[in-house]
Structure 1
Amino acid sequence: MKAQKIRDLHRDLGYFYLGLIVTFAFSGILMNHREHWHPEKITMESKPVELQLPSESEINEKFAQKTASDLGLEGKVRRHMIRKGTLRIQLENAEIEVDAKTGKGEIVQFIKTPIVSQAMKLHKNTSAWWIYFSDIFGISLIIIAITGTLMVKHGKYTFKRYGWKLAVAGIIFPLIFLLVF
């Protein structure tokens, strides 16, 4: 492929996917921290609650749904769990967190954060058309990376003389992270 065609392909794919790359990067950063805070939700109301909890083995889907109903929360329970001594029951627009030993906790009701919530849906979407589009996007990112390595033909910053070292470092770093952490 001629140098100008490589540059044109690199430029055009880069321009076409610029918005998606920024959106994915932004929502990916937010997704990395979703265990510590709820970037896609705005808290509307928080109120204390005290529950009599059965033994951990008796806490199941039926118990979680009944508890949510008894507390006046509408909607289906999305998930429930006990982690680090805290019972967590999550619904679409509310969450119940209760200390498993004391039974004290809170109900937090929220609404979706505009734009942020929709951007985070990109990472969770499993519809067929989105999967195909994401595959095309992934292939395009590979093409952008490869054409980027071919763009500089002369000088000390060519891929062959310089870029391969950074590329190898870019491969090694996540591998070390996966193996060590």
Structure 2
Amino acid sequence: MKQKQIRGLHRDLGYFYIGLIIAFAFSGILMNHREVWKPEKYTIETRQIQLQLPAQELISEKYIDKLKEEIEIDDKLRRFNIKEGKLKVSFEKNDVEIDMKTGAGEVVSFIKTPFISQTMKLHKNTSNWWIYYGDVFGLSLIVIAVTGAIMIPAGKFTFKKRGWKLALAGLIFPLIFLFLLA
């Protein structure tokens, strides 16, 4: 490829993906801190409940449907599990947590944060078309990185003279994090 073609490819892919790069960066920051900020949703009501729960082996989807009526939730079930002695039920707009021994629990009702919750879906979406679009995006980012590295033809700031050291440092940092700190 000629220098002019490399620059053109780099520029055009950069322009095409600039919105997606910004959206992914924004939603990625939110995803990194989702346990602290809870940016995807905000609580509108919290109420305490007291119930008599059956034995753990009797808790099924059918039981959860009855529980929904008992605690006055009109919502679609997402999932439920029993972990560390607590029944945790997740609905579209409510989360329920009940202590299996005491029956004491809490219902947290929430609303999805407009725009932010939709943006965060960029990182969570698993539909086939989005996966393939994400693959094309990933390959395009590789092309943008490579064309950016070889775009400068001569001088002291070329990839060959200086850029490879920075690229290597940029690669080593996440590897150190993955293998030593994670």
Q: TM-score, normalised by structure 2?
A: 0.85
- Deviating above 6 A after TM superposition, structure 1's stretches of 4 or more consecutive aligned residues are none
1:85 and 1:163, CA in 2 relative to 1: closer, same or farther beyond 3 A? Answer: farther
1:60 and 1:179, CA in 2 relative to 1: closer, same or farther beyond 3 A? Answer: farther
Shift of 1:63: 3.6
Range with bigger deviation, 139-148 or 94-103: 94-103
Matched, 1:111 2:111: yes
Range with bigger deviation, 46-55 or 7-16: 46-55
Query: Partner of 1:38 in structure 2?
Result: 38
* Kept after mapping to 2: 8 A contact 1:86/1:99: yes
Aligned residue identity for 1:121: K
Report % sequence identity: 59
Shift of 1:91: 0.4
Instruction: Tell me the alpha carbon deviations over residues 133-152 of structure 1, each in whole angstroms, 9 at most, x when there is no partner.
Output: 21211111111010110112
Range with bigger deviation, 110-119 or 166-175: 166-175
Shift of 1:101: 4.8
Shift of 1:13: 1.0
Query: Partner of 1:4 in structure 2?
Result: 4
Counterparts of 1:99-138 in structure 2, within 5 Å, are 99-138=99-138
Shift of 1:68: 2.6
Consecutive unaligned residues in structure 1, runs of 5 or more: none
Matched, 1:23 2:20: no
Range with bigger deviation, 143-152 or 123-132: 123-132
Shift of 1:15: 1.4
Shift of 1:85: 4.9
The whole-number CA distance in structure 1 between the counterparts of 2:53 and 2:36 is 25
RMSD: 2.2
Q: Secondary structure of 2:96's partner?
A: strand
1:179 and 1:68, CA in 2 relative to 1: closer, same or farther beyond 3 A? Answer: farther
Range with bigger deviation, 51-60 or 92-101: 51-60
Shift of 1:20: 0.5
Consecutive unaligned residues in structure 2, runs of 5 or more: none
Matched, 1:175 2:175: yes
Range with bigger deviation, 56-65 or 4-13: 56-65
Aligned residue identity for 1:168: L
* Kept after mapping to 1: 8 A contact 2:75/2:94: no
